[in-house]
Amino acid sequence: MALMDGAEATKILKRDALGRVTLPRERREALLDEFERSGLPATQFARAASVHYQTFASWVQKRRHARDEYADLPPAAPAALRLLEVVAAAGPEERCAPVAAMPSAAALEVTLPGGAKLLVASTAQVELAAQILKALHTSC
């Protein structure tokens, strides 16, 4: 896919030491104009133009901010309210008791969106449970 017409289409794009494309303002604006006319997704257009997607996306975003295109968007909806039920241990003797000796009411049960349950039955398991929840959150 040839981006730009004539000699502009065959020019080699300069990159800095970090691999970022450096273009004169006029060339960058012409490339963004062509992107708007193309109807292609930004990922495909950036690949065809041999520009890193993150760099290209920042050019598009800066242009849209300069044109004040974000002013007409409705405000973002607030995050959904999430309620959790927490059952705390009744006394300090239960916090140090082995898992088998703890009554089931002293355990913390976390029900995940898919229906899986995480049972934290002692304070020794809290750090591991936090790591599991963090790993699940970042993998989604």
Contacts of 74 (CB under 8 A, 6+ apart): none
Which pTM does this prediction carry?
Answer: 0.44
Q: 96 with 135, same domain?
A: yes
Q: Which of residues 2 and 85 earns the better pLDDT score? A: 85
Query: Do 3 and 34 touch, CB atoms closer than 8 A?
Result: yes
Convert 5-24 to b/e letters by CB count within 10 Å (16 or more is b).
Answer: eeeeeeeeeeeeeeeebebe
Residue 77, in any domain of the structure: no
**pLDDT higher than 70, residue 99:** no
Total domains, the chain? 2
Structural domain includes residue 116: yes
Question: Tens of pLDDT along 26-82?
Answer: 989 999 999 999 989 999 999 998 888 998 999 999 998 898 887 776 776 666 656
DSSP class of 78? P
pLDDT score of 135:
79
Q: Answer for the pair 46, 52: CB distance below 8 angstroms, yes or no.
A: yes
- The domain of 99 spans 92-139
pLDDT higher than 80, residue 138: no
pLDDT of residue 1: 42
Q: Quick one: CA dihedral 111, 112, 117, 120, positive or negative? A: negative
